[in-house]
Amino acid sequence: MPFERARHVLHHIREVHRTAATLYHRASERTASPRVRMLLDYLEGHEKRFEKGLERFERYIPPGTMHAFFQNSPDAIHPPESLQELSESTEPTQDEVLDAALELDRWIENCYRQMAEIAPTATTREAFRGLEKQQAAEQRLIVTQVQMMDDL
């Protein structure tokens, strides 16, 4: 189903963040590796923060921005399969976890980019561009955090 309004996209992406946090938590409980558990715990918190951040974003952005109607919105967007594969893995490696997390962040960034490109108003376009930039910054932060964990 295509998204009709900007808020529908944000609700969907908030749900993806919530689901990812749950999957990271479950994977963390299964792993025997302290290093992988530390990464999964970090990613779980990361996803929870993003979900809450989007909730706050929706509350404080001008109301008309999120109610903008998209005439030619993209079809329903599905998160990358690597997240589900990670949830099914009995003992994920640090690289598998990092790859899944970065793929998810790139997917979300791409969703924001697509919505900005077809946004019907300048304020909606700028809102999605801001979210896209924030998501790109988070990808860099995850890589930095993993490098710091490797130094431990």
| pTM confidence score | 0.86
Q: Domain locations in the chain?
A: 6-71+81-151
| Single-letter code of the amino acid located at 124 | T
CATH of domain 6-71+81-151: 1.20.1260.10
Q: Please, are residues 3 and 9 in contact by the beta-carbon 8 Å criterion?
A: yes
The SS3 of residue 41 is helix
| Single-letter code of the amino acid located at 25 | H
Per-residue pLDDT of the chain (152 residues; tens, 9 = 90+): 455 778 888 888 899 999 999 999 999 998 999 999 999 999 999 999 999 999 988 888 887 787 777 765 555 567 788 877 887 877 888 999 999 999 999 999 988 898 888 888 888 899 999 999 999 988 888 888 887 877 66
Q: What is the pLDDT of residue 36?
A: 92
Q: How far apart are CA 54 and CA 60, in angstroms?
A: 10
